[in-house]
Amino acid sequence: MRQAQRSTEATVYVGLDYHQDSVQVCVVNGRGEVLTNRSLRNEGQEIVRVISEHGQEARIAIEACCGAAALADRLMQATGWTVQQAHPGYVNRMKQNPDKTDYADAHMLAELMRVGFLPTVWLPPPAIRDLRQLVRYRQQLANQRRNTKLRIRALLREQGQSKLKGLWSRGGLELLRSMEGLPEHARWILDRHLEDLVRLDKALAQVTVRFRNVAQDDSVIQHLLEQPGIGLVTACVLRAEIGPFERFGSGKQLARFCGLSPRNASSGARQADAGLIRAGNALLRATLIEAAQRLTRCDPRWKTFKARLRAAGKPGSVIAAAVANRWVRGLLHGVVNSSRSRVAA
């Protein structure tokens, strides 16, 4: 074993258990022998140095988590080695030991990489990851604005003013600012909530400006904006969360990635679905469902499709999911063909 640890292999397999300040590094050779398994500082150069002591070429696995993608980028840029992100949920299911240690986790990743069973997660390029941060920041702002409006509604109900309509229009907001008869503390809280709404609206407008700047130089977003019912926010969400459409081999794969595929619940002669699959990006799925609802109002094709499903007794939620599923399948081919045409031109 000591001789194996000192030798330099042609190719080694590495598992990285990532932490904010440290990384557990496990290196195994092609025979599965552990060459080293130790904790290092979270610094790319030190990790590369230790791996290089044991192999000329490395195939590295790291669990997908906050910060792992940046480390993977640094390692690939510094060495040209293969670095793949692993799905943490699937890796955890493969463990045969209920105990959890950094030593065992890093070894598990190295072994999965060695035998070719690593459940990989796509590693987005830096530009896509940056756009994702902007998209998700906008969603955080939108959630805060929604919660603020709900708190205003709750405050008004406490004061017996629950029947007011059109509160979020310009006139409604002026009514709230000038409303009289509220207790002292309720008036003060309402004013703070109204200030929060103004602040959040300004922040959302600033995000929209950034979206427009991104869209000017992105051919995929431009193609999405040409689709009926698709606006700037929806296009940017799809671009950020899906990434390059070319990485999907079929529309069915893309629909499943978006969480729009029905979950099979068949047994014996019984054939049934059990709603949508539970996997998938919640923001992406919700955005596509909302887009599908707009499509059934503005596109004759989807209006007809909705009417046919409604006549068959399908509820609105099922109809919206079915429209989103079929629309995104067709979208794949449109985006890929559009990209190829631009390259050819």
Q: What is the pLDDT of residues 237-276, one digit of tens each?
A: 999 999 999 999 999 999 999 998 887 666 666 666 667 8
CB 86 within 8 A of CB 118: yes
Q: Are residues 206 and 157 in the same domain?
A: yes
Nearest to 279, CA basis, from 303, 302, 258: 258
Residues 66 and 165 in one domain: no
Q: What is the pLDDT of residues 175-219, one digit of tens each?
A: 999 988 899 999 999 999 999 999 999 999 999 999 999 999 999
Instruction: Please give the C-alpha separations between residue 156 and each of 178, 180, 183, 186, 188, in angstroms, as whole numbers.
Output: 14, 12, 11, 9, 13
State the DSSP H helix or E strand holding residue 239, giving kind and residue range, or none if neither: helix 232-242
| Shared-domain flag, residues 197 and 230 | no
Whether 29 contacts 9, CB under 8 Å: yes
91, 123 contact by CB (below 8 A): no
* Whether residues 69 and 180 fall in one domain: no
Q: Which of 171, 201, 217 is the last residue of a domain?
A: 217
| Distance of alpha carbon 13 from alpha carbon 114, whole angstroms | 6
> Do residues 109 and 141 share a domain?
no
- In this structure, are 142 and 197 located in the same domain? yes
Domain limits at 249? 221-344
**241/308 same-domain check:** yes
88 shares a domain with 28: yes
Give the whole-angstrom CA distance, residue 299 versus residue 292. Answer: 10
> According to the model, what pLDDT value does residue 161 have?
82
Q: Provide the domain count of the chain.
A: 3
Residues 74 and 24 placed together within one structural domain of the fold: yes
Q: CATH no. for residue 20? A: 3.30.420.40
Give the end of a domain, one of 180, 199, 217: 217
Q: Are strands 22-28 and 34-41 parallel, antiparallel or unpaired?
A: antiparallel
Collect the ranges in the chain with pLDDT lower than 70. 1-8, 264-274, 339-345
Per-residue CA distances from 299 to 218, 233, 313 (Å): 25, 19, 21
Helix (H, G, I), strand (E, B) or coil at 278: coil
Model pLDDT, residue 100 = 86
Answer whether 224's CB lies under 8 Å from 234's CB. Answer: yes
* 90 & 177 share domain: no
The pLDDT assigned to 218 comes to: 93
Q: Looking at 5-136, which runs of residues are DSSP E strands?
A: 9-18, 22-28, 34-41, 55-63, 82-86, 120-121
Q: Whole-angstrom Cα distance, residue 147 to residue 296?
A: 28
Q: Among the three residues 121, 154, 171, which one is the final residue of a domain in this structure? A: 121
